[in-house]
Chains A and B, each alone.
Chain A
Amino acid sequence: GDSVTQMEGPVTLSEEAFLTINCTYTATGYPSLFWYVQYPGEGLQLLLKATKADDKGSNKGFEATYRKETTSFHLEKGSVQVSDSAVYFCALKNFGNEKLTFGTGTRLTIIP
């Protein structure tokens, strides 16, 4: 079945550091890929998505590129802020299937 493997956390970085959170997937066919973010005390929010190979999703300074050859969708940000502290989830959705399959989540803490 479909699965998502996500970088283990927690991750702690200093403000303005470069961020990478790794995500790889296993799926039949051609899934869509997502990053969701859960800020403290809030619900899950879509951060960005990509629907086909080589697409780049971007939002709020975050980027992720759909790499079919490496089955990856790594999340990156060039300069993180304290407000980026949250739990980040990588997810996929396969064609003809309505459910999202999530990774285990990565807790990110940014220190001033």
Chain B
Amino acid sequence: GAGVSQSPSNKVTEKGKDVELRCDPISGHTALYWYRQSLGQGLEFLIYFQGNSAPDKSGLPSDRFSAERTGGSVSTLTIQRTQQEDSAVYLCASSPRPSGGYQETQYFGPGTRLLVL
């Protein structure tokens, strides 16, 4: 079946502009995650959704970052007033349900590569 998809695959923007990144999780997966992969910081957790609510936003680096999820499916990560340090690959993952415990695997999308000039 289809995996996690993300769009766009690449985005180049100018400093100060807003960007929206989209994630389509695997159908039926209720848990959705955003991570960021950058040269200086490695792979960092940003935010977790269960359904349409976000119980854990602890990884969002500043109030310029926000995310929403609608219909328990598609999620959008928005970065306002982008800065050069926002350049990174933004990864989305989904899992069938939150594990709380240990068993659920997170399935990752191919990522959106963001470059802020």
Question: Which residues of A line the B interface, CB within 8 A?
Answer: 32, 36, 42-46, 49, 51-52, 89, 91, 93, 95-105
Select from chain A the residue with minimum beta-carbon distance to B109.
A43
Q: 6 A-B residue contacts at CB 8 Å?
A: A43-B4, A51-B103, A98-B31, A101-B45, A104-B42, A105-B43
Minimum C-beta distance from B6 to chain A (A): 9
Select from chain A the residue with minimum beta-carbon distance to B6.
A43
A32 to B103, alpha carbons, bound, how many Å?
Answer: 8
Q: Is the CB of A43 within 8 A of B100?
A: no
Question: Which residues of B line the A interface, CB within 8 A?
Answer: 3-4, 31, 33, 35, 42-45, 48, 50, 55-56, 58-59, 91, 93, 98-103, 105-111
A103 to B48, alpha carbons, bound, how many Å?
Answer: 19
Minimum C-beta distance from A96 to chain B (A): 6
Select from chain A the residue with minimum beta-carbon distance to B43.
A102
Question: When A43-B110, A89-B43, A100-B45 are in contact, do A95 and B102 touch as well, CB less than 8 Å?
Answer: yes
Q: Is the CB of A43 within 8 A of B108?
A: yes
